[in-house]
Structures are given as C-alpha cells and as structure tokens.
Structure 1
C-alpha cells in the first residue's frame, strides 16, 4: 500500500466503533433468563442463531403440540447471525460454481429447492411480520479482471445448458458500471431473483419473537456443556441445570459440536467487515447503485458489499483468518491490520468516495468445511441431528438445514434427505500442525492465483482433485 493511500485509509477508520453495526440497533430485545434446574421437552434445540431459530420455528409449525426448548450460550443472534453482511441467498451450494463442480447431476434439483427455500423465507417474513429490511434485489457477481469476465460467461453458458439461466443477466463493462459505478468493474453476472438483502440481527430477533409466540421456550446465557443418552432419550447439561428430551437438534455451527466426532469437519475462520457513515445524496449519485443489489467480486479472496437501509455501504471479506489450533476466541473479533486493508481496497473500488469515513469495524467466526457448503447427519441412533459447515452462506441455507434436521429426526424419507449433498460428508480437516500448514499454503496459493490471471498452481490442483478447499 502506498504511503498516501495508507494514510487516507487510516484516517477513514479513526472514528470507527469496534462493534457490529447491526447489533447496535436500538430495537435489540433484552435477554431472556438462563435455564435453572431440570427441564423436560420433546425437542431440544441447541443454538440461538439462524440454524436453531428456524429449527424451533419449523418444528412448531409441523406439530404445534410438541414442547420445544431452545438454549443459547449467549444471546440470540449475537454471533455470526448478527454479524454477517445480510446476503440471503437461494444457493444451497455456496454458489453456482461450487455446486456445478461437486454435484453436477443434482444441481438443477438443488437450485429448485434453494429457490423454494428463499421463497419460504420471504413468506415467513411477511407472515410473522419480521421487520428485517428484506429486499429481494438480487446480487451481481462482479469481474475485476479479464479472466473473471470469461469465467462469468462460462457459468452463464452452463446455467443456460442446465435450464437454470432464468433471472440471470450478463453485464458488460458499461452495463455493470451503469448499475454501480466503479472504475475497477469489467463485467458482471446479475442474479435478479436468487438473493435478498436484509438486516441480519433483526431477522434473528424477529425469529426469536415468532418462536416465543408459537410457544417455544427460550433460555439465553445457557450453553450446552455435554450431551448424553438418558433412557429412551437424551440429556444436555447446562451451567445451572439440565434438559431431558426425546430429540436434539444441534445448531451450534462454528462452536465445538456436542458430538465430538464432528469437530474435525469444520474449522473457524474469522471474517471482517466495515460500515461507512451514511452517504450524502451527492455521494450516492456518484456511484449510482439505485437498484440496491448485493455485490461480490469474483476473486478467490473476494469482497462482498451492499447498501444498508440508511444509505451506508457495508464492505467486507477478503481476509479469511485461521488461528493455529482452531479456537473461537473473542480477541480475534477485531484485527486492525485487516480493517486497514479493507479500507484501502474500498477506496480503490470507489475513488469518488475519498473522504468518506467508516463508523463501524468488526469481525466474527464462520464455520467452514472442506466442500464450502453445509453437511448433515444424525448421531445417538437417530435421536440427535446436526447441520453445520455453511461457510459464510448460512443466512438462507440454514432454513433448509433446519428442514433436513427435522426430517432426519422424524425418520422421514423426503426429497431433501435423499439428496447426495445431504447423504454425503466433506473430508475432515487434518490435525494440527498439518491443518494450519495446509490452510496457510492454500491461502498463499489462492492469492497467487488472483495475481496470475486465475491460474491455479499444483497445490490447488491437487486440492481440487481431492475435493478439499478453504474459504470464508
């Protein structure tokens, strides 16, 4: 970074508050009491992010008479569900390209199920009056290099071949800059229907209220400490009590699973984001962006960015930080060197906004797995179900994962449970220090590919053949 650019980037961060923008909303609900003593229920949901909230809500919709308890280790929505960029995508496979490479024969079905899942989320937003700033604006995958333009054209052609191109629009340089004006943009692929923008924390809080209205009993500041068989059911111990239950759904994602054999399948990756102060009318006019789509560039180390309801720009991504040992630690939630890098990249993308300042800067942990998309299964003779490994694309896909978990717990053979994607597992990550070294080499190789026209070195080609990867 040039000294002048570094100085301007640093100045733009001088007033940034080190807290997630979304969680500062004055509408944040108060915490519910912790669980004390012994409770009994039909279904225990562990985790108060999107995964757990959708599971509890859908369980009550399926059978209003069942007693559902949800426990959350801190407060509902405080972790990834309240810190993400607010991109709610239909894709269940972490994007079309990843789905095409892993489940080519099943992709049309996965795309159809993903679209239906996003429609169901939109329906729930209306039905339960979830005030979460839901806007079905779509998303543009932006090319900033010539090879990325070619890649977007190839994806569009594959989508056409599979009959999946409805709602997709290829944009040349002039067309993409007419939508959002950046001198770095060379082309784009606009998915007009497959992504919605929303306020992530408000979605979690709205789901919490909807669950309570349906009779779900929620206990906050109640982590699940261990999981054991208890007669015909299961039991989970908490700091001040215990829950005995017939069935358990685990929605803990990035946090260590109560089923220990699952822990090697995910690692925590730290992702970071900035939010600007509100743009003036003149600043907004300088970049266009009238259609308010989400944007993401097409590099391996990619940025995601969108406009908020009050005309700020959220700018995140690029760095995906893994710490040796794979622990989730609060001190990793902030990384000034990444904030500085993100700010410099922001003004490279939007030089016309020089002088704009950032109001918030934060980070948080994402659970990533080696295939970049969620995996599912059961434990304890079918009495426990899990869904995890969303790799940063869980705002929408967690609702689908909740449906899968409930199908599995019910022992039902459904279209969802028969999917190869649901019946298969990713490869686990190796133990330390091999995981740390392998992830480091992969990150270095991805950066090299971005700098060399997308050309993948021998390491990345080997990882591709093995079905292994690392992403945020």
Structure 2
C-alpha cells in the first residue's frame, strides 16, 4: 500500500510571527517525537481543530490514548495568526442551509453559539486566559455595493425564529467603531474578540492536563496507511489505530483533498498602542468588525489600545506550495496600511509595528468538510475552515470525535460530513492562472466600488468567477 507524502509547513522565524505570538513569547513547550511510539488516536496538527478534537475524544472516552504531532508549536499556524474574531455560523446560515438543509444548519449555528458560551466559561473559571470580550461582531458596509450583503442571513435567522442580529444605522456605526467609513450594518451581540495565541496555548495546556500527549517540532513527512497506520517524522514513528488530519491549509498536499481545496493568504498588521486616540474617537470596546467587500477587511481594538487590521489578499499558491511568503508578505503591510488609514485617518501618524500573513484553507462552499480518506477508513480529516474557526472548531471537534469513535449521533450524521457533495476546483495550472486573473479583477472591483463607482463589465464578469 503506497504511502502519502506530506508537505511540512515552513515555520515562521520569530520576527515573522504574528503580534499575538510575539507579545506572549509563544514557543514549543513539549519535546519532539523521537523513536517509536504507539497510541489509539494520532492527530496531525496542534491548532484549534486538532486540540479541540483531542479534548472532545477525552470527554467521551477518557481512557483513549491520544497523541498530537505538531510541526512547529501549538498555535503557530492559523490558530495564532488570525484576527481574533469570534462569531457564530449564523452569519453563514444561508450557505449552510443550501449545503446541509435547514435542520442541520440550525443545529450547527446553535452549536457555535454554545461554543462561545463554552469559551466564556473557560475564561471565567480561570482555565484559559484568552482576553475574551463579548462586545459584539459588526458586519458592515462602507460602499453602496456592500449594502445588504447580510440580508440573506439576517432574513433567514428571523424567519427561523432566531433573532441573532440587530440592524445598525450610521449613528450606531459611528458610536460603535469610531469611524465614518462604514455607515450601515448589523451586529451579533453575543460575539466579539479574543487573543488567539493565548487561546491556542491555553487549549494546549488543557489538553495536556487531560492526558493528551503532544509532540511539538515534529512535522509529519509521511503517512503509511494500513490496519495500524503510521506517521513518520524526521526522528520518529508514531503508530495508531486511527489518525486525524487537522493540519489546515497543508492538507491540500494530499492528492485526494487537493481537488476540493484552494489556499489563499490573509495579511494582518498591528499598530503601536494608541488608546488615547481610540478613546477620543469613541472606539472603546472589544467588538470585532468587518466589512462586506469580497476581500474582506476585519479589525479589532486590543485591550492595550493597538489596532489589529487584516485583509484577505486573495494571493494563491501554485499547486498549493505554501512557502515563506505566506508567513510574511513582501510589501510590509502597505496594502493594509492604506486601508487602515482610509477607515481610520486619525491613525496616520501611529506606527505600524507588526505585519504578518497566513494561509487559509478554502472550499468552494466556504464551509469545512469532515470525512475519512476514500481508501482508508481509519484516516480522518477536518479541513476547509475558510478563515473562520474560533467558535467553529469546538464544533468541529465534536464532529471529529464522533467520527473517530464510531458514534452514531447528530455530529457524525450532520451534513458537513462527506466530501462527495463538494465542488471540485479546476486542475493546475488552470487553477493558479485563473485565480490570479480573478484576484486582479476582485481587487479592481473593490477599489472602484469603495468610491461608489461601477466597475467595467469585464471586471465584473471575472470577479464573479470566484468560488
């Protein structure tokens, strides 16, 4: 039986790590895998998805021997690089219903609301200090073209009796954000922000305290399928009864998954503390904010008064080869700085002290998928979080735990399980070339629409080819 070659991530040097990771001096806390070890369930990936899966397995079957192999250190990937925005799947309920049906869509959305409550309990109990602030999540419009982007989700939630969102007018927006750039939108009140690296490292410690073995700095080079599959690293071999692949964008290297995944970059910056300016303009809380352009802007104010400002760049990797440019882009955050100064001109004199990037694993439906490899029923995967994971991965952990433990329940039966209904993407090089053309059109379309002008017909056509 042929083995599966993995493409280990390119670890970011310290200076290219996110502000979140650098601010708490995050690093490996466990030893690499050396020699031969065995376990019941092996998990590849020590980010949110892998850690939550391990914790959920331990909830249901405490005696299960679970080992996590992490290429760098827990939280060094997407879990420690994101914008720290916490909101439910109710924002995607229309897409969920289209894919999984009304009943499952409601169940999954409610589960993410429960996950936010779980995060709150973890913080309030002192279990994980994650700087969670449930001051709301704002979905906004800063141009006529963005108005009503939330209408499907807003209308559907109300139709289904879930009054999760409240509309905001221009005065509300100015009061909540301190910016006049966005003038219309909705808010999900039971949502907000976290310090994502603190959450990842807190989950690491929680997993260890529950008996999970974690080997960091242990990139998996090869998966050897079989009745007792093996994971091979540079220094050791881990044998398990079952394997869970939770390695985010790097799973695109697996031939069976590659047709359904595309990897794009997201870029973020962090300013120097500017609490006095933010207080003066009225931006005083921990709400998370995003706009409705295709390459969405997302931002928050940290407790210390920094502004974290991110944007999906749409940059794509050829054959999903994720190199060092996905750790930090070459433009030093200039595109984000331009947009930051448009949204907050008051911050033009404030130094931008950090810039970083990260890969995002996307599916055409913009929703994750859970399953086992077609020919290997003891190798499972969780992939395609599309940059939205803080309230979603606790739910993903429940789905994965049920699948791996062979439980017949609402999680193992939910409509996100099974890759067969997902859309395949074009092969290379058509995928890469097409994505570059579409990306350029989307950027032109965004730049024109933000001025309330109409893009040309060709630009509109090309931009609409995006998944």
Query: How many pairs were matched up?
Result: 446
2:4 is matched with: none
Change in 2 beyond 3 A, CA 1:55/1:426: same
1:250 is matched with: 245
Change in 2 beyond 3 A, CA 1:128/1:410: farther
Q: For the residues of structure 1 that align with 2:64 and 2:122, how far apart are their CA atoms?
A: 20
Are 1:396 and 2:391 an aligned pair? yes
Q: For the residues of structure 1 that align with 2:31 and 2:173, how far apart are their CA atoms?
A: 50
Q: For the residues of structure 2 that align with 1:22 and 1:175, how far apart are their CA atoms?
A: 29
Are 1:189 and 2:186 an aligned pair? yes
1:4 is matched with: none
Q: For the residues of structure 2 that align with 1:251 and 1:99, how far apart are their CA atoms?
A: 21
SS in 1 for 2:313: coil
Q: Is the 8 A contact 2:252 2:258 kept in 1?
A: yes
Deviation >6 Å, runs of 4+: 453-464
Change in 2 beyond 3 A, CA 1:457/1:47: farther
Q: Is the 8 A contact 2:177 2:282 kept in 1?
A: yes
Q: For the residues of structure 2 that align with 1:375 and 1:221, how far apart are their CA atoms?
A: 27
* 1:272 paired residue among 254, 267, 277: 267
Deviation at 1:213, TM superposition (A): 1.1
1:12 is matched with: none
Change in 2 beyond 3 A, CA 1:96/1:457: farther
Q: For the residues of structure 1 that align with 2:146 and 2:253, how far apart are their CA atoms?
A: 41
CA RMSD of aligned residues (A): 2.6
Within 5 A, what are the aligned runs for 1:244-393? 244-256=239-251, 259-281=254-276, 283-337=277-331, 339-379=333-373, 380-393=375-388
Are 1:428 and 2:427 an aligned pair? no
Q: For the residues of structure 2 that align with 1:295 and 1:308, how far apart are their CA atoms?
A: 12
Q: For the residues of structure 2 that align with 1:421 and 1:374, how far apart are their CA atoms?
A: 7
Q: For the residues of structure 1 that align with 2:78 and 2:161, how far apart are their CA atoms?
A: 34
Q: For the residues of structure 2 that align with 1:104 and 1:287, how far apart are their CA atoms?
A: 43
Deviation at 1:447, TM superposition (A): 3.6
Once the two structures are superposed, residues 158-180 of structure 1 have per-residue CA deviations (whole angstroms, 9 ceiling, x without a partner) of 332222223x1101111111111
Deviation larger for 270-279 or 286-295:
286-295
SS in 2 for 1:118: helix
Q: For the residues of structure 2 that align with 1:71 and 1:315, how far apart are their CA atoms?
A: 31
Change in 2 beyond 3 A, CA 1:429/1:150: closer
Change in 2 beyond 3 A, CA 1:154/1:30: closer
Are 1:64 and 2:62 an aligned pair? yes
TM-score, length of structure 2 as denominator length: 0.88
2:83 is matched with: 85
Deviation at 1:206, TM superposition (A): 0.7
Deviation larger for 140-149 or 73-82:
140-149
Deviation at 1:367, TM superposition (A): 1.2
* 1:440 paired residue among 436, 440, 461: 436
1:49 is matched with: 47
SS in 2 for 1:395: coil
Are 1:415 and 2:410 an aligned pair? yes
SS in 2 for 1:133: coil
Q: Is the 8 A contact 1:74 1:223 kept in 2?
A: yes
Deviation at 1:457, TM superposition (A): 6.4
TM-score, length of structure 1 as denominator length: 0.87
Q: Is the 8 A contact 1:371 1:469 kept in 2?
A: no
Q: Is the 8 A contact 2:264 2:313 kept in 1?
A: no
2:218 is matched with: 222
SS in 2 for 1:163: coil
SS in 1 for 2:54: helix
Deviation larger for 177-186 or 116-125:
116-125
Q: Is the 8 A contact 1:445 1:457 kept in 2?
A: no
* 2:168 paired residue among 171, 188, 196: 171
Change in 2 beyond 3 A, CA 1:352/1:96: farther
Change in 2 beyond 3 A, CA 1:51/1:267: same
Question: Structure 1: 5+ residue runs without aligned partners?
Answer: 1-16
